[in-house]
Structure 1
Amino acid sequence: MSANIAFAHGNLIKGTVTDSLTAERLTGASVILNNESITSTDQFGNFRFDGLEDGNYTIKISFIGYKAYTTTLTVNGEETKTLIIKLTPSTLRLDEVTITGAYSTEHTMTSINKIDIGLRPLKSSQDVLRMIPGVVTAQHAGGGKAEQIFLRGFDIDHGTDIILTVDGMPVNMVSHAHGQGYADLHFVTPELIDYVDFNKGPYYSRVGDFNTAGYANFHTKNSIDRSSVKFEAGRFDTYRTVAMLDLLGKNDRNQNAYVSAEYYYTNGPFESPQNFNRLNLFGKFNGLIADDKILSVSLSAFKSEWDASGQISERAVTSGLISRFGAIDNTEGGFTGRNNVNVSLTKVFEDGSRFKNQVYFSHYNFELYSNFTYFLNDSINGDAIKQKESRDIYGYMGTYQKELLIGGKPLRFESGVGIRYDDISNIELSHIKARYTFLNAIALGDVDQINANVYTDAMLNLTQKLSLNAGLRVDAFSFQHSNKLDSLYNRQSQSKTAISPKLNVYYNINPDFQIYFKNGIGFHSNDTRVVVSQRGHEILPKAYGTDLGVFAKPLRNLLLNAALWQLKLDQEFVYVGDEAVVEPSGKTQRYGIDLSLRYQAADWLFIDFDGNYSHGRSIDDPEGENYIPLAPTFTSIGGITTSLKNGLRASLRYRHVDNRPANEDNSVTAKGYFLLDAALTYTRPAYEISLNASNLLNREWNEAQFDTETRLPGERQGLSELAFTPGDPFFIKAGVSFFF
């Protein structure tokens, strides 16, 4: 063994942190030694400090939603001290959030999210995505389609430039019938989300494909502290019920298991009823199967079916042809389903290193009926299309983590390898009429896409205040496409490799103020049909990102995050699933500022604010014709929450999106909006009563909107103007939950 690279000698303090009620091992709790060194608990709830000199040490352990724990102990003579710590659930306290230390940035982001989940009611699947600061979403197909996502100057469409995962299992669909990266999170029941591990920019070697604007990994709960059943009802024939059943109860085996079921139905505010049905089933086991092994197994099934009124043109409403909630073609809609198996096994070794193996499988089907242009191309039958596919996804990830010393300086090392295989059958785009009348095929084929990857990442504490994080990721792709409309069998294939280096620097001015400087190269993800049409040229264009930011606690109850950022892309090819064509967008540049704050004004009063400004332009186009359509400019969300000891909680929240260009020359504007929502809950040991209201001011607003050339019935030619999906009017629902 090298003299400079070694395991620590000297005294050792290690321990395990658990929930005092469920005995669940707590992952990500902050552990501070003498108010200087900081680490966090791993998946086993374990922490350790190696190579300590003889002396007295104070350890403070804190975790959002738990009462902080502090202890003092003495070690000498290369002694090992082992602590077993049971944290007691408590009210939310921002003064217990820590930001100092080498690994604090990712944990501070997680802390922000845990604060948000504790304060904000998750009323719908859209709220799940809005938990990420800076994310704006739009729904434009009756509630069953994946949301359109906006972040950091990107119209991400349905997931092209952000990677979404659930317990490490990918959500994004490569080479999807509707578009690259299609990410439908509706198979996640909001009540099951424990926290979201998220970050922005291409700076993280453990994530690859789709990671340009950022990533988000939604972690489901490993345990529930009690069983429950919830019933909700609201306007527009809206009904929802959720049941969660604890299967093992309290035990001393550190094992937990539960099942859940969610059913949702609504007709929506539209004149043509949505008939929207969604069913979610989920089950999870998590626990120790040996002193050094944790097994996690989850199974889920999801099914959704709906009708939709689609996007409507402004002139159709202003002319009186239809109302805001009317339809030009009310045969839109679709159905989709997804079944998942996700298994992970983590082993910890005597030296504290960890090795995690994860395998997953998804069976997915999708069928969508749309009509964006009405009668532009076919004045008799209309322009309705069907997009359909069926796929199986197979995946494996292996991750090894180890902490050691280099020249007496702590180093955290992580390395991983993974593979994902998408077997996609009969990706179809067809011209149809009234949903079920087939007119002609536009595109039909099979896709086989493989992504094999390997990465390594190291975090080195150069000094007590300065830390350096360097990483390198390699993604190798194999793309294969068979065009079933070609009279001659033609299987096209391409392969490509992307190398993505990362370099991040963190400096702690004091225990409450950290500066970070992130740099990374990623790549813009592309559809297999783009790859083969481009014959492999420019198919994984580079994305270059930089962030300069701070985490600070200027007051003990105020947490602040601010960042200046920029992102350049060499090319942005887009496969337009609605037309089966490839559109190159050229080089782009985006920059902006993010600001988030969380403030606890009193034990019972919380204030939160997120403001995000971005400026995006195409580099190759002339000035005035270089706007990026639908790219967000300024967005903000925030609110005030009161939480009283008698179980009463109330919140008033707002959502704001500024006007933004809808096309390249800004001649059409996508209209912004300002909305107010409110929530009220009263919680007792055996039950909870809730009341949620959206769009309190009953504003007319556009949720999804596009500059689209359309032709209305009876018109002689098409006209390009704003087409939109109207946002919901005032909506209210009430609910009751029972705990047992």
Structure 2
Amino acid sequence: MLKLYTLLVAFFLCSFVSFSQNTISGTIKDDKNNVITEAYILNLKSGHHTHSDAQGNFSISAKKNDSIKIHHIGFATQYLKANGAEFYTIKLQTKMNLIDEIVIAPKINALSIFSEINTRVNPVNSSQDLLRYVPGLFIGQHAGGGKAEQIFLRGFDIDHGTDINVSVDGMPVNLVSHAHGQGYADLHFLIPETVNGVNFGKGPYATNKGNFSTAGFVSFETKDRLDDNLIKAEIGQFNTQRLVGMFKVLDSEKESAYIASEYLGTDGPFDSPQLFSRINLMGKYVGQLSAKNRFKAIVSYFTSEWDASGQIPQRAVESGLISRFGAIDDTEGGETSRTNIILNNEYQIDDQSGLSTTLFYSKYDFLLFSNFTFFLNDPENGDQIKQKETRELFGVTNTYHHKFYTDNFNGDFEAGISLRNDQSRNNELSHTVNRAEVLDSLSFGDINETNYSVFANANFHFGNWTLNPGLRLDYFKFVYEDGLIQQYTNNAENKTALSPKLNILYNLKDNVQLYLKSGKSFHSNDTRVVVQREGNEILPAAYGSDIGFIWKPVPKLILNTALWYLYLEQEFVYVGDEAVVEPSGKTVRKGFDFSLRYQPFDWLNYDLDVNGTLARSKDEPDGEDYIPLAPDFTLTSGINIIHPSGVYGGLHARHMNSRPANEDNSITAEGYTVFDFNAGYRWNHFDFGLSIQNIFDTDWNETQFATTTRLASETQPVEEIHFTPGTPFFLKGIISYRF
């Protein structure tokens, strides 16, 4: 630990030393005048390198006649000879061959290359599908399309976001102490066509990611400007319609603004129609206020409502009581909305330093009716529950960036502070009937949760080595006012978490990167648990390590493989559906990741992701130590064609192995393999396409749970698999016009 603190002190000091070397600076843009962030700039003579910042600006040590290499995935590499000028404007030309241009640079999150390739070649059916850009991440819907999807990654059943940190343009998506579940991450406010890039990391290794970043994080970035206006219509089976409109409002060199809208409606394949509808609205402004100041403002709103057939018992289908797409209680459903305001300012202090400030505000409403046990607890009225809340979310993050160069090493340093406050009012769990009558209030109160954090992180590049130490400190204050107690009570607790990180990279030339990552993170528990347990064991820690490599053996092939380990401390998890606390115990997960991207021709792409995990509880006896629903083997693969003639298409497969549904593996969640297909033709300003989900019409279960339930005709409860059926053969036609 002393060595770690010594390193941290060292990089604080190094970040403020003066430098005698000459530097050059510039701005990198594409052929449509969009700034390019994270372009890789390398001085071929000295070996020093850097990346362009959020404004497309860069600075690098260079002397006259030094050769500078500039490249970014999706663009042709350029070379620049330093000629004595101090500032350069560089425009990169788009290039279809993505992998050819990749250089495996000393960058701590080089794995984002794989998600960036995915965003450029893989189609997306919904906003939540964007999460599938992360290799090895699976999702499942089990409530009529309106509730946040269930997430699986690295041997976790993450539920709706408990162990993955999700953000959009610097604003957190996860909602703490949510009415339905801790870390609830509903991405449905994000319009897929507005997404510019996806950054991700697996494991607890990112210093600037705090709460919920145990299995990893996913960060989405929306487009700063539109290349074209867009009108898009999709019509499909099950009374499905989707309309998208995206229009430029401002489009000059220094300013851009656009608005985007989306409508989605569907009944789904269910015997009882979903009657699902969603409306999304978004506006974004980007202005270069001065040579050093770039400002962004984003406003978005979404609202949705739906009915749901819920999770159905296997025995009801096998007996013929209902079909695979039937329901025991079709009065489930809900409605939700979210308004977001995000303000961001990037200020360039000098060639080496910059300051980024992000402020965000969300207004959120949620109402959900569910019935997981049917007539188990109330044989007369049934077990329907209502979960409801109204929330306001405020926050600000300030991050200081600094780049430095010496004769022996170069690198960068960042330090940040952040504040987040969640105020959830009338957070409710009630026993209801027919969505109208409240039979019993199980939980009702107001939650106020505040999170302060400070963090520091650096990258030191010594020849082929990169050392990346980091340290994060989080402070939480939990306040709960219980509305079911006659006498006023206002319970409060506070807690801190210290999270050190240390990552080491070694680059063999420019085609192999070896890495060893290590770090600690955490996920917070629900405020109601915190006050019940009087502050004990409320920030369970996760300790992890990865060892692996990224390799580009030939120009058109890149692959990654890693072995990893993750240990979680004792947790007490709040079950929002029952208003009870369940201990989950200490757990260990270990496994491997393998990803491959191959582009034999400019117009042909192949991808493969294979992930294996062994997940076990530490304190349970052998044979009773399985972690329910933890995926132990997943595979995704696809072929994509994007031909210069305008023809495009793809075939994609995803496979999840059968896995234990309970602790002794006596109940099994069945695995599945599903294939999706898409094809189309771009002609002038028009785009004609079709999409087929589950092209072979496979019967598969999208989500599954081992649940004890009782039907109206039964005298005794039964524990068995309950499932939501996966989408059957689903054909959709698409037409869009760009102008």
- TM category, shorter: over 0.9
Q: Are 1:298 and 2:295 matched, yes or no?
A: no
* Alignment partner of 1:669 is 2:648: no
Cα distance in 2, alignment partners of residues 343 and 667 from structure 1: 51
TM-superposed deviation, 1:638: 1.2
- Counterpart-to-counterpart distance in 1, 2:18 and 2:629: 53
Contact 2:15–2:403, Cα closer than 8 Å, also in 1: no
Letter in 1 for 2:253: D
Do residues 547 (structure 1) and 546 (structure 2) align?
Answer: yes
Farther-moved stretch of structure 1 (484-493 vs 202-211):
484-493
Q: What corresponds to 2:7 in structure 1?
A: none
Per the alignment, residue 358 of structure 2 pairs with: 358
Contact 1:633 1:658 in 2 (8 A): yes
Shift in Å, 1:66: 2.2
SS at match of 2:678: strand
* C-alpha distance in structure 1 between counterparts of 2:293 and 2:709, whole Å: 59
Match of 1:41 in 2: 52
| AA aligned opposite 2:36 | L
Amino acid at match of 1:432: T
Provide the C-alpha distance between the structure 1 equivalents of 2:310 and 2:16, rounded to a whole number of angstroms.
62
Secondary structure of the structure 2 residue equivalent to 1:6: coil
Q: Which residue in 1 is equivalent to 2:482?
A: 483
Q: TM-score, normalised by structure 1?
A: 0.96
8 Å contact kept, 2:21–2:406? no
Q: Which amino acid letter does the alignment assign opposite residue 442 of structure 1?
A: L
**Residue 117 of structure 1, CA deviation:** 1.0
By how many angstroms is 1:6 displaced? 2.3
- Are residue 158 (structure 1) and residue 160 (structure 2) matched? yes
SS in 2 for 1:451: strand
The 5-angstrom pairing of residues 186-225 of structure 1 reads 186-225=188-227
Q: Deviations 1:169-220 (Å, cap 9, x if unpaired)?
A: 0000000000100000000011111111110111111110011000011101
Name the SS of the counterpart of 2:68 in structure 1: strand
Distance 1:114 1:533, change over 3 A: same
Aligned: 1:472 with 2:471: yes
Distance in structure 2 (CA, Å) of the matches to 1:413 and 1:586: 37
Does 1:18 find its partner at 2:60? no
Q: What pairs up with 1:394-433 in 2 under 5 angstroms?
A: 394-405=394-405, 408-433=408-433
Aligned to 1:99: 104
The one of 90, 94, 100 aligned to 1:89: 94
- Determine if contact 1:6/1:405 at 8 Å carries over to the other structure: no
Instruction: Report what 1:58 is aligned to.
Output: 67
| Distance (Å, rounded) in 1 between the aligned partners of 2:93 and 2:602 | 18
Deviation at 1:68, TM superposition (A): 2.3
Aligned partner letter, 1:433: V
Q: Note the alpha carbon deviations across 1:514-569, whole angstroms, 9 max, x for none.
A: 11100101123211111111111111122110000111101111111111100001
Partner AA of 2:389 in structure 1:
E
Note the residue ranges of structure 2 that are not aligned, 5 or more in a row: 1-11
- Once residues 5 and 289 of structure 1 are traced to their aligned partners in structure 2, the CA distance between those partners, rounded to angstroms, is 28
Structure-2 separation of matches of 1:221 and 1:14? 25
Counterpart Cα distance in 2 of 1:350 and 1:139: 48
Q: In the alignment, residue 288 of structure 1 is paired with which amino acid?
A: Q
Classify 1:515/1:486 alpha carbon distance in 2 versus 1 (closer, same or farther; 3 Å). Answer: same
Q: Which amino acid aligns with 2:193?
A: E
Query: How many residues in Structure 1 have an aligned counterpart in Structure 2?
Result: 727
Counterpart amino acid of 1:468? L
Q: Which moved more, 1:111-120 or 1:237-246?
A: 111-120
Whichever residue aligns with residue 639 of structure 2, its letter is I
Equivalent residue letter for 1:24: N
Alpha carbons 1:177, 1:388 under 8 Å: kept: yes
Shift of 1:407: 7.3
Q: How does 1:490-529 map to 2 (within 5 A)?
A: 490-529=489-528
State the Cα distance separating 1:126 from its structure 2 match. Answer: 3.1
TM-score, normalised with respect to structure 2: 0.97
- Structure 2 contact 244–261 (Cα < 8 Å) conserved: yes
* 4+ aligned runs moved over 6 Å, structure 1: 1-4
For 1:725-736, what aligned pairs fall within 5 Å after superposition?
725-736=724-735
For residues 503 and 511 of structure 1, the distance between their equivalents in structure 2, rounded to whole angstroms, comes to 23
Is the deviation greater in 575-584 or in 437-446? 437-446
Q: Is the Cα–Cα contact under 8 Å of residues 691 and 735 in structure 1 kept in the other structure?
A: yes
* TM superposition shift of 1:37: 3.3
Match of 1:387 in 2: 387
User: Aligned AA for 2:726?
Assistant: G
Q: Is the 8 A contact 2:15 2:402 kept in 1?
A: no
Preserved contact between residue 711 and residue 717 of structure 1 (Cα < 8 Å): yes
Query: Counterpart of 1:640?
Result: 639
> What amino acid sits opposite 2:387 in the alignment?
Q
- Kept after mapping to 2: 8 A contact 1:618/1:628: yes
1:30 aligned to which of 35, 40, 58: 40
- How many Å separate the matches in 2 of 1:611 and 1:327? 35
The answer (yes or no) to whether the contact 1:134–1:152 under 8 Å persists in 2 is yes
- Distance in 2 separating the partners of 1:55 and 1:69: 18
The answer to whether the Cα contact below 8 Å between 1:110 and 1:195 also exists between their aligned partners in 2 is no
1:303-322 to 2 correspondences below 5 Å: 303-322=303-322
Match of 2:8 in 1: none
Q: What's the counterpart of residue 253 of structure 2?
A: 252
What amino acid sits opposite 1:401 in the alignment?
H
